[in-house]
Amino acid sequence: MRSSVSDILRTFPLVFRAVTSAGLLALTAPQPAVAQSAASHPEWPGKGQLFVGTCYQPIDRSPEQIRQDIAIMKRAGFNLVRMGDLSWDSFEPREGQFTFEWFDDVLAQMHAAGIKVIIDIPGEPAPIWMHKHYPGVDVVNQHGERLNAATRYWDNISDPDYRRLAIRLAEAMTRRYANNPAVIALGYDNEIGNGVMSYSAADRGRFVEWLKAKYGTIEALNKAWATQRWSRRIGSWDEVDLPYGEGPGPNERNLDLRRYWSDNTISALGDLEAVRKKYAPNLPVASNFWPTAWTKGFNYLRSYENIATYGAQGLYPIGLLDTAFQVTTNRAGLDTPFWFNEFTAGGGGDYGAPGRSRMWAYFGLLYYGQTFLAWTFNSHIGGEEQSLFGLVDHDGRPSWKVDEWAQIASEFAKLKTMGFPRYRKAQVAVDYSFDTNWLTSPPPGPNTLKQYFTGNYTDQVIAAFQPLFEDNIDTAVIDIGHDPIGAYKLVVVSSAYLMDRETADAIRAYVAGGGTVIMTGYSAKVDETGKWFEIPLPGRLTDVFGLRTNEFYRADQPLKVSFGGETLTGTDPYYEVLELGTAKPLAMFTNTPKKSAAISVNHYGKGQAIYLATAAQTSLIGPLIRSLYPELQIERGPRTPAGVVARVVEGRTMYVNTNNAPISVSIDGAKTGVLSGKTYRGTLELAPYGVELLQGAGDK
């Protein structure tokens, strides 16, 4: 489990895709990034199969406790567990000496109980013996101090010895378990993306080689880094220093530092994927990644198809909107069910609230969920998570949470015949860029960027996502410079401060081909190096949007916008004065010194490009997005009060009350509750954390 930090979505693990065949999962080739219709997708993976179970660490348990634990799991109706993570030194207690027999026995017991297993290849954290034998695996901080492996994930995964030994571990495990009858999937390096950047001389050398491959010449590097400023010109590769990830330092260098560590992480995962393809091509990958870990992270949205088979994450909800955004982003452009490889069962210092896990499991079903694994089975007695409470208490007795998860397993066994895991193509795409996120959050030190780009990039993307979430509309969160976007009815680009060629080209082609795009203020100010464009703004897209956005101000009072016969009030004072060329105004600012356009539209090719001249804020972008539903034939989902999420699944409607209070939902006519057996007329009464699946009163 990871700690939760809400403001920048620190929690983002990843990845998995599964196909059902004769009751087992089989590997399939990646599907197109944009989903097809269910009718044209007969091989759609996972149809009619749901998995409910837990994460299990047998290294914490005695043989007798393991037998008792598996008996509890079997009685609860669990059909899947995840094991092996965080356990490298249990498989390899000394270098080159592998001990798998203890794990073989646990697998055999799981198989006998009818429980399938995801095996995590535990490449992180590295064992202490590795740190002692290979000092290059130690992390060196930016002050030159070598750090002991005092906490989890303090491993330098760029070190060649680490890479070699991680590959050897993966080879040993995949060769041994590829055809084990209990094993249905693999995982890589739990929560990789976490940890810290390292600053040793060897790290500097590897960074320089990365720069050589990226830029080719010192001249190109100097141009990208704007080294003429403040007398920072670099005369040779020997003069390149590692940028300070904790500051200070120019933005351009920090962006490349983040990209370097991202590529390094993706390369380490690529090593493991190559091993899987060689020794276990029959097994898909279900990894619990952490690409948004702020200490390092990696660019998941431009790499997922090379390191992941299918979308997944650990679910530790903070707020409802943030959680929906997390899950949607981790699904990325995949056309598959979603796996929750870890799932809230209690919490750090929190024993748990009855009904809460069940509610979030049903929320997960609506977000394409197929697998739900409680973190964790047994409460931890030591280490960093000794106050984390699982399904079984510290004294080994099952808590009430076991019964709640047994209820989930029982209900999901019924729902798998009713269109779950659910499938539906997303109608709208919202753009998210790891590069922009890194660039707009510079390290401490002299930097005028934060004087310009106020607020939080991720929050501004979520603000654009919010109206679609509130309207229960299936939406994809993707990097549109990476994934195909032609099939979406609407693409929303929020505060895209960095506009690289790939993203600009995607927007241009999409609009020219007949698409509708909304872009907001703060967008297209800098190029892929992080330097401001020396061309009119929005950079690379002035003709597509038919305007210029050079001039900007901050109002001393809430912005007022006249739109659709109403006056809307903003929440962010930033605004841009649009110089309209071929674009036409759709809405006007009414209380700014220049009564300029707040929203404009430009017809380009067969499509239209709409510009909102301020930061994404729900009070303004919500009405704009909703005004486009009829024209673009965007189908709104069930109408629900705040905190109630709903979707239609094969003619039935599922409602999930995420509030810890009862709530009433208006419905049409008489409906029967599949879960409760009750008949509802005109109103559905949902208990706190209550869920219901409604069908016509006469339907079966």
Q: What is the pLDDT of residues 129-160, one digit of tens each?
A: 999 999 999 999 999 999 999 998 999 999 99
- Integer angstrom CA distances of residue 355 from 347, 443, 630, 657, 694: 14, 41, 38, 11, 20
- 359 domain-assigned: yes
- 252 domain-assigned: no
Answer yes or no: do 272 and 398 share one domain.
Answer: yes
Rounded CA separation 170/279 (Å)? 9
Matching residue, tokens 């700014």: 592
Residue 5: how many CB atoms within 10 A of its CB?
A: 13
If one counts the domains in the chain, the total is 3
- 179 domain-assigned: yes
- 495 domain-assigned: yes
Answer yes or no: do 391 and 336 share one domain.
Answer: yes
Q: Quote the pLDDT of residue 575.
A: 98
pLDDT digits (tens, 9 = 90+) for 599-636: 999 999 999 999 999 999 999 999 999 999 999 999 99
68 neighbors 396 (Cβ within 8 angstroms): yes
Adjacency order of strands within the sheet including 183-188: 183-188, 116-121, 80-83, 51-55, 369-375, 338-344, 312-315
Q: Is the pTM of this model over 0.85?
A: yes
CATH number at residue 673: 2.60.40.1180
Q: Quote the pLDDT of residue 239.
A: 98
End-to-end CA distance of the chain: give it in Å, rounded: 40
Confidence of residue 699 (pLDDT cuts 50, 70, 90): low
Q: State the residue range of the domain holding 691.
A: 644-696
Answer yes or no: do 390 and 535 share one domain.
Answer: no
* DSSP string of 141-168, one letter each residue: -TTS-EE---STT---TTSHHHHHHHHH
Q: Quote the pLDDT of residue 14.
A: 29
Answer yes or no: do 616 and 596 share one domain.
Answer: yes
Answer yes or no: do 181 and 304 share one domain.
Answer: yes
Confidence of residue 487 (pLDDT cuts 50, 70, 90): very high
Answer yes or no: do 168 and 269 share one domain.
Answer: yes
* DSSP string of 501-565, one letter each residue: HHHHHHHHHHHHTT-EEEEETT-S-B-TTSPBPSSSSSTTTHHHHTEEEEEEEE-SS--EEEETT
Give phi and psi for 36, each to the nearest 5: -95, 175
Answer yes or no: do 314 and 181 share one domain.
Answer: yes
110 neighbors 70 (Cβ within 8 angstroms): yes
The residue out of 632, 664, 686 marking a domain boundary is: 632
pLDDT digits (tens, 9 = 90+) for 657-676: 999 999 999 999 999 999 99
Q: Quote the pLDDT of residue 37.
A: 29
- 244 domain-assigned: no
Rounded CA separation 601/580 (Å)? 10
Give phi and psi for 694, each to the nearest 5: -100, 140
Q: Crossing angle, helix 320-331 and helix 457-470, to 10 degrees?
A: 100
Q: Is pLDDT of 193 > 90?
A: yes
Lowest-confidence region among 7-16, 430-439, 550-559 = 7-16
Q: Quote the pLDDT of residue 384.
A: 86
334 neighbors 44 (Cβ within 8 angstroms): no
Q: Is pLDDT of 29 > 60?
A: no
pLDDT digits (tens, 9 = 90+) for 389-410: 999 999 999 999 999 999 999 9
Q: Quote the pLDDT of residue 311.
A: 86
Rounded CA separation 526/503 (Å)? 12
> Cα angle vertex 79, ends 76, 83, to 5°?
105
| Strands annotated E in 116-222 | 116-121, 139-140, 146-147, 183-188
Answer yes or no: do 560 and 614 share one domain.
Answer: yes
Answer yes or no: do 474 and 569 share one domain.
Answer: yes
Alpha-carbon Rg for the chain, nearest whole angstrom, is 26
- 548 domain-assigned: yes
Instruction: Check whether the bond before 538 is cis (ω within 30° of 0).
Output: yes
